[in-house]
Amino acid sequence: FTKRKLDAAALEELEDALIAADLGAPAAARVTERLARDRFDREVTDEEVRAALADVVSETLMPLQCDLDVTGMSPQVVVFVGVNGSGKTTTLGKIAVKLKREGRNPLLAAGDTFRAAAIEQVSVWGERAGAPVIKREIGADAAGLAFDALETAERDGHDVVLIDTAGRLQNKAELMDELRKVIRVIKKKMPEAPHHVVLVLDGTVGSNAVSQAEAFLEAANVTGVVMTKLDGTAKGGALVQVAEKFRLPIHYIGIGEGEEDLQPFSARDFSRALAGLED
């Protein structure tokens, strides 16, 4: 390894790398400053610097690494929310497959009654998981469908209900109201539900992730986050911006389109990947 001084030029390179990973300029500056404070003027290898960088990022994320716990009183209700195309339905499907394998008895609700073939998409995931799917025709009321799903779960003894919702941009008041209504109707039927409201963030997203988290928190009381599409070239640093600001638990990352492509979130692995370290 070639050692070099962690001088101003080297630090600027680091800061740039963090910005290029979507950490945002302020957070990138903070992390770099921390690093400078601790190890300025020492000879270090590139590997050492990256490891130290990963440690600083990991400090923020470690307390947020958290399982999606659906072991409580049956049925556990999980609602998936987020902007269009972020990976809600796929994540729901992967979790259904996983739960089924663990011997659970999930019920799926095709709560996106808006987008073309959204219902068919959930149905395919239901088949893959071997789990039934509650559906209505396209254009039906999403809140009513959620209500149906809870009734069915109680009647048929399902221990987890996974509710899909239509993608919506957080600045669309009408669509956010519709989501509020879904949550309200769920609560009316089952006051302790939903047990989880999972915000699904696209791994390629930039700073808009912060505005997404803020709006979905306000409208739907988000309880945790999943970040998808980390199998591409995006590093997903926007997750760090969201974590710093809202301290939301992070459950999983998506690393592909298949059933198996869901990993429990590891603060260490995520931070190391962000810092450009292999594993």
Ligand X SMILES: Nc1nc2c(ncn2[C@@H]2O[C@H](COP(=O)(O)OP(=O)(O)OP(=O)(O)O)[C@@H](O)[C@H]2O)c(=O)[nH]1
Among 58, 89, 212, 241, binds ligand X (CB under 6 A): 89
Q: At residue 107, what is the residue type?
A: L
Coil/strand/helix, residue 90: helix
Binding site for Mg ion (CB under 5 A): 88-89, 112
Supply the minimum distance, in Å, between the C-beta of residue 21 and other proteins: 7
Give the footprint of ligand X on residues 181-200 (CB under 6 A).
Answer: 200
* Cross-strand partners of 82: none
Question: Can residue 45 be called a binding residue for ligand X (CB under 6 A)?
Answer: no
Among 231, 247, 260, 264, binds other proteins (CB under 8 A): 231
Say which residues have a Cβ less than 8 Å from residue 88's Cβ, sequence separation at least 6.
Answer: 80, 81, 82, 112, 164, 165, 167, 200
Distance CA 32, CA 15 (A): 6
- CB nearer Mg ion, residue 68 or residue 92: 92
Nearest Cα neighbor of 239 from 247, 50, 16 is 247
Question: Can residue 228 be called a binding residue for ligand X (CB under 6 A)?
Answer: yes
Give the footprint of K ion on residues 195-224 (CB under 5 A).
Answer: 202
Give the footprint of ligand X on residues 133-172 (CB under 6 A).
Answer: 167, 169
CB 14 within 8 Å of CB 35: yes
Distance CA 181, CA 116 (A): 22
28 binds, among K ion, Mg ion, ligand X, none (CB under 5 to 8 A by kind): none
Residues near other proteins (CB under 8 A) are 16, 19-22, 24-25, 83-87, 93, 114-118, 120-121, 123-125, 167, 169-172, 202, 204-208, 211, 229, 231-235, 237-238, 257
